[in-house]
Structure 1
Amino acid sequence: MRRVRYEATGGPLFLEEAPSPEPGPGELLVRCAAVGISLPMVRKVTEAAEPVPLGGEVAGEVVAAGAGVTRFRVGDRVTGLCFGHGYAEFAVVHEAMASPVPDGATEVTAIALVRSGLVALGALEAARLAPGESVLVTSAASGVGHLAVQLARIRGAGRVVGAVSAPDKAEFVRSLGADDCVRYGDGGWGDPVDCVLDAVGGDLLTPALAALAPHGRLVAYSSGGGTIQAYDLLAGAKSVIGFQMALLARGRPQTYERWRQELWRLHAEGALKPAVHAEFALEDAAAAHEAVMSRANLGKVVLRM
């Protein structure tokens, strides 16, 4: 099979021939039709001390199942998270991390909707957003962010603000239902909000926390790290909540499944519309990474087999 990997921190990415993997107990072997590109994976290529397998979201057809698999069979279409080599024609996905792709939906739609949507929905749940409250979403034009903006509106937010890196993203973010769009470098971010969903981290944590009203909640789900001063929390009785999707998928499978069904229902009703910025061929994975690293994307970036 063909797969993408790299040999040293920073790349370059290259295409190689490799044996197809074998599914172990509880695992599925998926013939990939589409693969999602995420910022955490892109960052690992440039920041990890040693090369790591290019994993992430995959969608395609189950071609083999390991011992103990009960929810899926050969021929099913699934999407899920691969922790091994995912930028490949075949990838291994643990059954607990997989979910079915409904009839009539494409694998590209599944990539744009499910994993990113689960993170967005989980961040909103962690924020305990109440109807009428205001929310600010950082990286609002990203694969997760553009769904978080829509889901905040669907869940009754009184005001939704998107924060982006460049002014040319404002029109896209407003088209998703945001009331306003602000840029990271433009000083203050307008009136304080009840919740911030932060996918950026790093130096942005301080202004994100400052954007909260007293008793506000910041949900951090980025891979960007960052530090918060305790006094900044105490002064406004603010709180910071961490959220990680993989932990919830393994520990609360019923919640994971309920959220997944909600996402597909909202999509089928036309209320939630995942956007795909661009589709790249497997051999163009480096260009796909650049689109995400440069934050040029409006929606999800996808590899197509």
Structure 2
Amino acid sequence: MRAVQITEFGGPGVLNVVDVPEPEAGDGQKLYDVSTAGVNFADTHQIENSYLAAQQLPLIPGAEFVGTPVGGGQRVVGLLDGGGYAERVAANDRLTWAVPDAVSDEQALSLVLQGTTAWHLLRTSAHLAEGETVVVIAGAGGVGSLAVQLARRWGAGRVIATASSPEKRALAEELGAHATVDPALADDDPKQFTGALREANGGKPVDIVLEMTGGNVFSGSLSALAPFGRLVTYGMAARQETPSVPPGMLMQKSRAVLGFWLAHCMARPDMLDAAMTDLLAMTADGSLKPVAGGRYPLSNVKDAHQDLLARRTTGKLVLDPRR
């Protein structure tokens, strides 16, 4: 079967489409013909071997797919521990969910990793309370575009999104953000970014920040928090070390810094079931609108990664393994 495989770590140039043996289903697994594979920012870390878990070569990237069981059956969306950039995958029964007819492949893939991340960032980690101000870093991205909508739906008093271009800031506002901020303000001085976030909140500090960049964006976001504010970090897009956080800085304002990694939910499938049941129902009835970011042939996987790294994309990127 055709699959994307890497035999060395690096940038998009290490991604190659090759013929590999088909996977074999283990206990509690089924084989699926993949109709669409999802692309995530974490995949760019995986192929560099710069992510949270060390990678082993050779590897087939990809943590999510939509497909049907080999031989026919119900269309499902599923999570994988790798191997998704391929024509066939073996998936665990507890990590697949039936896709309603009203939900497209692209929408389903927006939900299974990015949507469940947004859901748990707000519900499980930040414990969003009605009326609180939420800052969503990268509010036009895969996780961010859903987090903006969920924060509004769940009673946030004000939602502020960051986005790197006027077009992305306009999209975040269309999705429900009350105000937007250019994250480039953090490039030279995190204090300038702190000021912009507070200005967007009427001069007041903010309650929650969902942060996936690191570096100055992390520092500026932390300083923008109100007493009892929570910063939830779930990514390292800037490829910069996040500054250390002195305990006194947290105590002085009763602030909290939390980390989130969806892999821990994969070990507790009930946590994913709760999120997916909610997200699929909202998408099917039209109250949640995942943003499609582009469909690429499997043969153009390098372009997908380059576009993602260059911040040329919004919403969810997917691969078509049949092309």
Fold match by TM threshold 0.5: yes
Q: Which residue of the other structure, out of 229, 239, 243, is the alignment partner of 1:227? A: 243
CA distance in 2, matches of 1:34, 1:205: 34
The residue identity in structure 2 corresponding to 1:207 is: G
Q: Which residue identity lines up with residue 266 of structure 1 in the other structure?
A: M
Preserved contact between residue 118 and residue 260 of structure 1 (Cα < 8 Å): yes
Report if aligned partners of 2:100, 2:284 keep a CA contact under 8 Å in 1: no
Which whole-Å CA distance do the structure 2 matches of 1:265 and 1:139 have between them? 25
1:276 maps onto 2:274 in alignment: no
Which stretch of structure 1 is more off in the superposition, 274-283 or 219-228? 219-228
Residue in 2 aligned with 1:183? 182
Residue-by-residue CA offset, 1:126-175 (whole Å, 9 max, x unaligned): 10111111000111111111000000000010000001233431111111
Q: Which moved more, 1:213-222 or 1:95-104?
A: 95-104
What residue in structure 1 maps to residue 303 of structure 2?
A: 287
* TM-score relative to the length of structure 1: 0.91
Q: Distance in 2 between matches of 1:256 and 1:102?
A: 17
Q: What residue in structure 2 maps to residue 101 of structure 1?
A: 99
Which sits farther off after the overlay, 205-214 or 282-291? 205-214
Which of 111, 121, 124 is the matching residue for 1:123?
A: 121
Question: Is contact 2:77-2:96 (8 Å) kept?
Answer: yes
Greater Cα offset, 150-159 or 261-270: 261-270
Deviates more, 1:216-225 or 1:192-201: 216-225
Richer in helix (by share): 2
User: How much identity, in percent, do the aligned residues show?
Assistant: 35
Counterpart of 1:127, as a letter, is A
SS in 1 for 2:14: coil
* Displacement after TM superposition at 1:115 (Å): 2.1
TM-score normalised per structure 2:
0.86
Equivalent AA in structure 1 for residue 98 of structure 2: P
Higher mean displacement: 240-249 or 289-298: 240-249
1:50 deviation in Å?
Answer: 5.8
Runs of 4+ in 1 over 4 A off after TM superposition: 47-51
Deviation at 1:223, TM superposition (A): 4.3
Give the whole-Å Cα distance in 2 for the aligned partners of 1:228 and 1:156. 32
Which runs of 5 or more structure 2 residues have no equivalent in the other structure? 186-191, 199-204
2:259 matches 1:242: yes
Offset of 1:255 from its aligned partner?
A: 3.2
Residue 165 of structure 1 aligns to which amino acid in structure 2?
Answer: S
- The answer for unaligned runs of 5 or more in structure 1 is 65-73
> How big is the alpha-carbon RMSD for the aligned residues of Structure 1 and Structure 2?
1.8
Number of positions where the alignment pairs a residue of Structure 1 with one of Structure 2? 295
Match of 1:21 among 2, 23, 40: 23
User: Structure 2 vs 1, CA of residues 57 and 130 (structure 1 numbering), >3 Å: closer, same or farther?
Assistant: same
